[in-house]
A = this chain, B = another copy of it.
Amino acid sequence: MRILVPFEATRPKTRLDGVLDGDERAAFARAMLRDVLRACLDADHDPEVVATAPVSLDLSVPVAVDDRPLSAAVNDRLATATDPLGVVVADLALVTPAAVDRLVDAAVDADVAIAPGRGGGTNALVVSHPDFRVDFHGVSYRDHRRVARDVAADVAVVDSMRLSTDVDEPADLAEVVLHGEGEAAAWLRERFALDAGEGRVGLRRRE
């Protein structure tokens, strides 16, 4: 399946600025992007980066530069798609080929498969319905359910921790260290260790 992976190439992961400096955020964001692309490739799909600026990745995956807002860039491609089209966000550092396949499998019997992200977001979709369009702004999970109702598209929701864990905030980094299996997790583990206190675990920078 063709899977779009949108990527903010210019100022990625600004909400991690209390923990990672600008160069680190850029390196970590690219590591996560490569993890997502490798998971798609390993599951025998055809990922395609849609980036806001040119990005070099060392992977044989096409990169389209599209400086429009994310939703417009995706909807333009949905409008001309003749086969089911996947969209997976670039910051899913826990994604595995099995998780990608759960998304794709969920789409077999539904017009739209959605993997919600933490905090009301949408982390992955497969769209088979000709009239469904995305809007990633705001509480996009709720909005995508509404759009699906409006165009009478059946929805399958994918219940996956790996797909729901987009990495936006410092607390998310601990999830990557705990459960990640790819380049982004290795990158983080070199620099940070788990820091267990009361409640949920955090990270501390290695000396």
A interface residues with partner B (beta carbon < 8 Å): 15, 98-99, 102, 116, 118-121, 138-139, 141-142, 159-164, 168-169, 171, 174-175, 178-179, 194, 196, 199-201
Contact = CB atoms under 8 A, between A and B. Distances in A.
Given A118-B175, A179-B116, A196 B161 contact: no
B199 A116 contact: no
This chain: how many copies in the complex? Answer: 2
Given A142-B194, A178-B141, A119 B160 contact: no
A102 B141 CA distance: 23
Contact of A161 (B98, B116, B120, B178): B116
A196 B116 contact: no
A178 B99 contact: no
Contacts of A120: 174, 178, 194, 196, 200-201
